Amino acid sequence: MTDPLLPGRDGNFRVWAPRATRVTLVVGDGEVPATEAGAGWWTAGIPGAAAGTAYGYRIDDNDPILPDPRSRRQPDGVHGRSATVDPGSFAWSDGLWTGRPLAGGLVYELHIGTFTADGTFDAATDHLDHLVDLGVTHVELLPVNAFNGTWNWGYDGVLWFAVHEAYGGPDGYRRFVDACHAKGLAVVQDVVYNHLGPSGNYLPQFGPYLHDAASNTWGSSLNLDGEDADEVRSYILDNLTMWFTEYHVDGLRLDAVHALVDHTARHLLERMAEETDALAAHLGRPLTLIAESDLNDPKLITAREAGGYGLTAQWSDDFHHALHVALSGETTGYYEDFAELDALAKVFGKGFFHDGTLSTFRGRRHGRVVDRTRTPASRFVVFAQDHDQIGNRAIGDRLSATLTPATLKLGALVLYCSPFTPMLFMGEEWAAGTPWQFFTSHPEPELGEATAKGRIAEFARMGWDPAVVPDPQDPATFQRSKLDWSEPTGGDHAEVLAFHRRLGALRHSEPGLTDPRLDRVEARTDGAVLLVERGDLLLLANFGNEPRHLTLPDGATAVVATEDTIGVDATGTVLPPHGGLLVRVPTR
């Protein structure tokens, strides 16, 4: 399946510029006037244009020459000319790949630039065996589309069809996906459709891509429901299709979908799900859409036949917040509502904590009740740490900076033994000692300064000392955030990693852990102890500072514990402080 709008395909170049009076294709020192093709489209031909041809567009005789909005490659950065790419020239070896469903999976989130010292796709490929040994099924990459500068989290992308050159460009990405499939790993790509970055965004010069009257935290919203919105929506849907077809990815993580302003009768998310399901049928493998949403609205993951959008899954920040508070005791900012352990018990049984309840951080009621009988628990992606929850702390400190290995293992036990789809953030599995900080490399000094000031203002609201906030533009901030691959081989790091590997293997061998029936989950608290019943499995997690003796049903047997000394005998079990145990109990 080849995109008919692929730049340079058969020597043809097409661009949407509905308000232009003249469009010129610029190749080398030559210029080719484009011809109007209707509905705001312009076409120009260069017979024999080969892969790697550098080109750009001039709108209404203006300067500068602009990159193609659908550019597949930007070898000289987002301000430079585009280059044609031939997706069919890559020799894929994944012809027998049949994909992986998300249900029953284990997701691993990583950032290509800091996952390894080299920060490339090829370097990341060298560590795929580590992920396989961990029990990972889905590798989720932070955004890799083209942005201005050398390093960045990826959420400031401006050319969504191009892969960042410093990571390895389009072919480097294909090599990575192909290698993942060879190891049995699915690839999920994080994509950002709710805004564009502040530098190198030339789309408004081509057409009304942005909404004149709507904006979000990061800038102007995309024009999804205004005049000429049909082509903007097609631009996004074509990008979605590109990842699945030209790059063979298995899923997309949709960034901050609550910021998609769409008042049409068929929300863009519903259209995405329809398109993805159709592609899955065509390609013969499962394709996944995972939404990041601040809405706590199960409509996103409710089947379209039942009035929902039909997305595969969504992140549950409530799970993170409740587990974070239970492990760390931190209750500032948005953690305030999760101060009681009952919050974690509620999330276990109902998917969300805020399901119409008062959110003190927001100053209003928030969320909606999940139908436990019709909503598979696997549709909630949960985590103890992720890029946002670490990187949006003042110094980017991981839980490993303040918690003991015993407490980290307790958090891992609760995460892996939840009924949901667990996700790890790179390095979490060995209690990485490196931070994950917010870093940018904006070439424009004024933009870098504005970014730093914005971070300080954000942290002031959370009650953190702005004096400790690292400068995002300082190259050392980026370098500090790289994983140290010498850590996992010794000491506490090796101990934590071994426990994660044990839990990963258990999820593959113990069917009860991946049972998606949310209505089978019964969770409660007993003081500082969380108790979760799931069929014949019982999870016990002591978040307190004192040991707890618990009486268990006759015939209970231990499945896995945070410490080898935790066991079950005729009197039950004694959980040490910050200790946990999964047991099998006789079914009634």
Residue 79 is assigned to a ligand binding site: no
Residue 257 is assigned to a ligand binding site: yes
Residue 6 is assigned to a ligand binding site: no
> Active-site residue 262, yes or no?
no
Sign of CA dihedral 300, 411, 455, 120: negative
255, 337, 355, 429: the catalytic one is: 255
Q: Is 344 helix (H, G, I), strand (E, B) or coil?
A: helix
Residue 111 is assigned to a ligand binding site: no
Query: Per DSSP, what are the bridge partners of residue 12?
Result: 45
Q: Is 121 helix (H, G, I), strand (E, B) or coil?
A: helix
Residue 388 is assigned to a ligand binding site: yes
The answer for residues whose C-beta is within 8 angstroms of residue 521's C-beta and 6 or more apart is: 348, 349, 377, 419, 532, 533, 534
Residue 258 is assigned to a ligand binding site: yes
Contact by Cβ (8 Å): 405, 492: yes
Residue 391 is assigned to a ligand binding site: yes
CA atoms within 13 Å, Cβ hemisphere of 537? 21
292, 337, 429, 515: the catalytic one is: 292
Please spell the DSSP secondary structure of 42-94, one letter per residue.
EEEE-TTPPTT-EEEEEETT-SSPBPPTT-S--TT-TTS-EE---GGGS----
Q: What are phi and psi of 97, to 5 degrees?
A: -70, 125
Among 377, 426, 529, smallest CA distance to 140 is for 426
Q: Is 150 left (phi over 0), alpha (psi -120 to 50) or beta?
A: alpha
Q: Which helix (H) or strand (E) holds 475?
A: helix 475-480
Q: How far apart are CA 147 and CA 569, in angstroms?
A: 59
- For residue 245, the tally of other CB atoms under 10 A from its CB is 16
Contact by Cβ (8 Å): 376, 525: no
Q: How far apart are CA 415 and CA 424, in angstroms?
A: 9
> Active-site residue 255, yes or no?
yes
Q: How far apart are CA 281 and CA 276, in angstroms?
A: 9
Q: Which helix (H) or strand (E) holds 30?
A: strand 30-33
Residue 254 is assigned to a ligand binding site: yes
Among 335, 342, 290, smallest CA distance to 316 is for 290
Residue 255 is assigned to a ligand binding site: yes
Q: How far apart are CA 449 and CA 426, in angstroms?
A: 29
Contact by Cβ (8 Å): 328, 402: yes
List C-alpha distances in Å: 577 to 161, 236, 413, 525, 545. 50, 50, 14, 15, 5
Kindly report the length of the chain: 588
Residue 239 is assigned to a ligand binding site: no
Residue 392 is assigned to a ligand binding site: yes
Q: Is 569 helix (H, G, I), strand (E, B) or coil?
A: strand
Q: How far apart are CA 415 and CA 513, in angstroms?
A: 11
Residue type, 544: G
Provide the annotated binding site for substrate: 253-258, 317-321, 387-392
Query: Which residues carry out catalysis?
Result: 255, 292
Provide the annotated binding site: 253-258, 317-321, 387-392
